Amino acid sequence: MTTAEVSADAGEAKAGSEYERERVPEKALKGPTAFWGMYAGEHTAGTEFMIGPLFVAWGADAASLIFGLLIGNLLAVLTWRYLTAVIACDNRLTLYYTMERIAGRHLVTLYNLANGLLFCFLAGAMITVSATAVGQFFPEGTVKMPTFESTMPTGVAWIIACVAIGGAMTVVAMRGYSVVAKVGHFAAPWMFLVFVACALVTLGRLETTDIWALLTPTTEPAADKKISFLGVVCFSWFCNAAMHLGMADLSVLRFAKKPSAGWASSAGMFLGHYVAWICAALLLVYWVRVHDVDPSQGKDPGTMVNDAVGWAGLACVVIAGWTTANPTIYRAGLAFQGMVPSMPRQAATLLAGTVCIAAGIFPAFAMNLLSFVGIYGTVLAPVGAIIIVDHFFAERLGIRRSPAASLGMNFNGVVVLSWLLPVGVAMGLHYSLGVFASYLPLPSAVACGVLYAVLSKMQSAAADRRLAAG
């Protein structure tokens, strides 16, 4: 299975040809190699150049970055392996069809809206990162770069850069993205080495290989520290919560011969979300120590990578952003098309691309990536908890499996309540009390699962009473 096909499956791309509404047959199952390559490629993205430096800006210490990321990424891999991959290989159905059987067709529309919008904001962040690289090709000052504190566009040149990059990405996504997906597949090992190259050059300039000392903040650990050890663990565990705990990767892993394919996620986690994040963090450490850059203001990825390794690095930033934003725009388009099936896919992709470009113009999304991915997980992970209850506990608890399918419902109110109540509370905690968003996906998912079990039990009892009454 090519990366393109895997990604396309995730977005229900090939209607009528990729088993969207049936179990994947034995003959279509794939060996583990495809999954290792796919995960390695998908998780070495342009946004990794933002996340590492943002950790530094938030005052993460060496222990958090070296051990916290290790633990969080390990927990993410275990979630993929022992929840997502197990359910995927048992049922061999897409997330969307699984959801439809539990929640009803109309409710999947609501899920598509949430999913599509969040995909757009994520792709917007990737456009922002790519624009910082493109700006380096113009004379200094032509394109004013955003800082970590920027929320608004920095000028007309910045807007033009984002529109040009986002427009090109959208046009390619509208035509289908298999070529870009192939480029992403080929680029993965090279991109990873460019991250390491940036770190090596930085270590040479700082004349030390003591990464622990470099990652230890130079300022007193006090007011500026915005993220703790637990925060780093939770961030790295849940930054892809929508994919593992939220079960979006059912659509990919349903093609796996065995649940052990879930281990392939470790390629993405430990190369992209461990080594690459630490390498990217070292770039900002250099600018803080040598150029006296205020860590809270940070430095844009394009400038840092260009300074470290030159044009090859800039190409890496653009390609890493492009190859991950492109399928994301494509998936967002498919999610929108799922809401309005009569809309042509190209029109839906154009709509998604326009939203992505609008999001990319505003650096607020990229610069708040640490919070945004937590919100992304908090909104979508609870859906996975419902699938977990349906798969593992329904029979034990005496509730119906796939209730919408078995009772002929188009809209399962129990799912709406179970999903939106915990998400509403979590959003309240984040926006009113400032609770770090990455702390919220797990409690939201657990609360959603418990609510779903209790309400479904009541729903099943009421349905049984109605059946008994005739």
Binding site for other proteins (CB under 8 A): 1-4, 33-34, 37, 182-183, 185-187, 189-190, 193-194, 196-198, 200-201, 203-204, 309-313, 315-316
Q: Which is nearer to other proteins, 100 or 307 (CB)?
A: 307
Per-position b or e across 109-146, b if 16+ CB within 10 A of its CB: bbbbebbbbbbbbbbbbbbbbbbbbbbbeeeeeebebb
Q: Which is nearer to other proteins, 38 or 367 (CB)?
A: 38
In the complex, least distance from residue 312 CB atom to other proteins, rounded to whole angstroms: 4
* Type of residue found at 398: G
- How would you classify residue 31: left for phi > 0, otherwise alpha for psi between -120 and 50, otherwise beta? beta
Q: Which is nearer to other proteins, 176 or 443 (CB)?
A: 176
In the complex, least distance from residue 298 CB atom to other proteins, rounded to whole angstroms: 23
The CA-atom distances, in angstroms, between 234 and each of 9, 12, 231 are 28, 30, 5
In the complex, least distance from residue 50 CB atom to other proteins, rounded to whole angstroms: 21
* Type of residue found at 217: P
In the complex, least distance from residue 14 CB atom to other proteins, rounded to whole angstroms: 16
Q: Which is nearer to other proteins, 5 or 100 (CB)?
A: 5
Q: Which residues contact 396 (CB under 8 A, 6 or more apart)?
A: none
Q: Which is nearer to other proteins, 316 or 451 (CB)?
A: 316
In the complex, least distance from residue 250 CB atom to other proteins, rounded to whole angstroms: 21
In the complex, least distance from residue 190 CB atom to other proteins, rounded to whole angstroms: 5
Q: Which is nearer to other proteins, 104 or 272 (CB)?
A: 272
Q: Which is nearer to other proteins, 37 or 441 (CB)?
A: 37
Token pair 């993965």 in the structure block, residue: 188
In the complex, least distance from residue 199 CB atom to other proteins, rounded to whole angstroms: 8
Q: Which is nearer to other proteins, 1 or 453 (CB)?
A: 1
In the complex, least distance from residue 21 CB atom to other proteins, rounded to whole angstroms: 25
Q: Which is nearer to other proteins, 316 or 361 (CB)?
A: 316
Q: Which is nearer to other proteins, 82 or 311 (CB)?
A: 311
Cβ distance 227 to 436 under 8 Å? Answer: yes
Q: Which is nearer to other proteins, 32 or 167 (CB)?
A: 32
In the complex, least distance from residue 291 CB atom to other proteins, rounded to whole angstroms: 16
How far is Cα 60 from Cα 103, in angstroms, rounded to an integer? 40
In the complex, least distance from residue 281 CB atom to other proteins, rounded to whole angstroms: 17
In the complex, least distance from residue 260 CB atom to other proteins, rounded to whole angstroms: 18
Q: Which residues contact 311 (CB under 8 A, 6 or more apart)?
A: none
Q: Which is nearer to other proteins, 33 or 260 (CB)?
A: 33
How far is Cα 352 from Cα 328, in angstroms, rounded to an integer? 9
In the complex, least distance from residue 315 CB atom to other proteins, rounded to whole angstroms: 6
